[in-house]
Amino acid sequence: MTEKIKKSDEEWRSQLTPEQYHVARKKGTERAFTGQYHDHKESGTYHCICCSEPLFSSRAKFDSGTGWPSFWEPIESSKVGEVMDRSFFMRRTEVVCNKCDGHLGHVFPDGPEPTGLRYCLNSVALDFKKKD
């Protein structure tokens, strides 16, 4: 297993844009249909914006109609963690990068087969690497 990346709040702030910091480090959410990857169709891999860990493949991406990039599975289940989120008087499952604990979005049980899951992520928490 890869060792966890630990940085101070100041280090994260200096590395990330204000929006990236707000979403990935403070559990914010970008507005629907505003992120650069919600309608993105190129082949490649989506990486954590904080630590560059490869997390999701374009092969598992689908159009959920929600305005956020959605995937039915991560590249490897060990790369993402799930945390119970009870904010805003709701019960949701938060998705985080297991390497740096960066907030990615949430996972819901209403996705397509074969997993039935919808990893609903923030574009600003991801960095896309095009397949060569």
DSSP string, 14-35: HHS-HHHIIIIIT---PPTT-S
Give the rounded percent of residues in the chain with a pLDDT score beyond 70.
Answer: 94
CA 35 – CA 20 distance, rounded (Å): 11
pLDDT band at 2 (very low <50, low <70, confident <90, very high): low
pLDDT of the residue at 88: 62
Does residue 46 sit within a domain? yes
Starting at the edge strand that comes first in sequence, how are the strands of the sheet with 44-48 ordered? Answer: 54-57, 44-48, 126-130
| Residue tagged active-site, from 48, 50, 100, 120 | 120
Residue 102 pLDDT more than 70?
Answer: yes
Does residue 51 sit within a domain? yes
Q: Report the CATH number at residue 81.
A: 2.170.150.20
Q: Is 97 a catalytic residue?
A: no
DSSP string, 60-106: GEE--SSSS-EESS-SSGGGEEEEEE-GGG--EEEEEETTT--EEEE
Instruction: List the domain range (segments joined by +) for residue 122.
Output: 9-130
Does residue 3 sit within a domain? no
Does residue 4 sit within a domain? no
Does residue 1 sit within a domain? no
pLDDT band at 85 (very low <50, low <70, confident <90, very high): confident
| pTM recorded for the entire structure | 0.92
Burial classification of residue 7, based on how many CB atoms lie within 10 Å of its CB (0-12 exposed, 13-18 middle, 19 or more buried)? middle
Residue 71 pLDDT more than 80?
Answer: yes
pLDDT of the residue at 37: 96
73 CB-near residues (< 8 Å, 6+ apart): 56, 60, 115, 117, 119
Does residue 19 sit within a domain? yes
Does residue 2 sit within a domain? no
Does residue 60 sit within a domain? yes
Residue 104 pLDDT more than 60?
Answer: yes
Instruction: Return the amino acid letter for 95.
Output: V
Instruction: Average the pLDDT over 8-20 and give the result.
Output: 96
Residues 19-64 have pLDDT tens digits of 999 999 999 999 999 999 999 999 999 999 999 999 999 999 999 9
pLDDT band at 123 (very low <50, low <70, confident <90, very high): very high
The count of domains in the chain is 1
